[in-house]
Amino acid sequence: MAINKKSKAKAKSNSEKISNFSKFFNKSVKSYKEKTGRLPWQRGWHITNNTPWFNHVNAVNNKVYGYFMNQIILSMSAEENGFTSNKWISKGNIQKNNGTWKGSATWVYGWFFWEEDMKDKDGKTLKDDKGKIKKRSGFNFRTFPVWNVDQCSNLPEKLASEEVEAVEYTPLEGRLDIAEEYISNIGAKVEFGKNGAYYKPSMDYIGMPNFEQFKTPENYYSTYVHELVHWTKTKDRCDRADNHKTRKAYAFEELIAEIGAVHVMNNLGIQMDQDAFDNHLAYVDSWLGALDDDTTFLVDACMQAEKAVKFLNSFQTKEELKKVA
Binding footprint of Zn ion on the chain (CB under 5 A): 254, 257
In degrees, rounded to 5, the angle at the alpha carbon of residue 232 between the alpha carbons of residues 239 and 18 is: 60
Q: Using CA of residue 221, residue 63, residue 32, residue 151, what is the dihedral sign?
A: negative
Contact 109, 142 (CB under 8 A): yes
**Cβ distance to Zn ion smaller for residue 223 or 296:** 223
Q: Judged by CB, which is closer to Zn ion: 218, or 254? A: 254
**Which residue has the closest beta carbon to Zn ion?**
257
Report d(CA 308, CA 237) in Å as an integer.
Answer: 8
Shortest gap between Cβ of 185 and Zn ion (angstroms)? 22
Which contacts (CB < 8 Å, 24+ apart) does range 16-19 have?
17/141, 17/142, 17/143, 18/141, 18/296, 18/299, 19/295, 19/296
Are the CB atoms for 98 and 154 separated by under 8 Å?
A: yes
CB of 253 to Zn ion, least distance (A): 7
Q: Using the minimum distance from each CB to Zn ion, give the nearer residue, 79 or 254.
A: 254
- Looking at the chain, how many residues does it have? 325
Least Cβ distance, residue 199 to Zn ion (angstroms) = 8
Measured from the CB atom, the residue of 254 and 273 that comes closer to Zn ion is 254
What minimum distance in Å lies between the beta carbon of 198 and Zn ion? 8
Q: How far is the CB of 174 from Zn ion (least distance, A)?
A: 28
Q: Which is nearer to Zn ion, 42 or 106 (CB)?
A: 42
β 57-58/100-101 pair status: unpaired
**Whole-angstrom distance, CA of residue 146 vs CA of residue 55:** 15
Q: How far is the CB of 254 from Zn ion (least distance, A)?
A: 5
Cα–Cα dist 232/239, whole Å = 8
Q: Identify which of residues 93 and 223 has a Cβ nearer to Zn ion in the complex.
A: 223
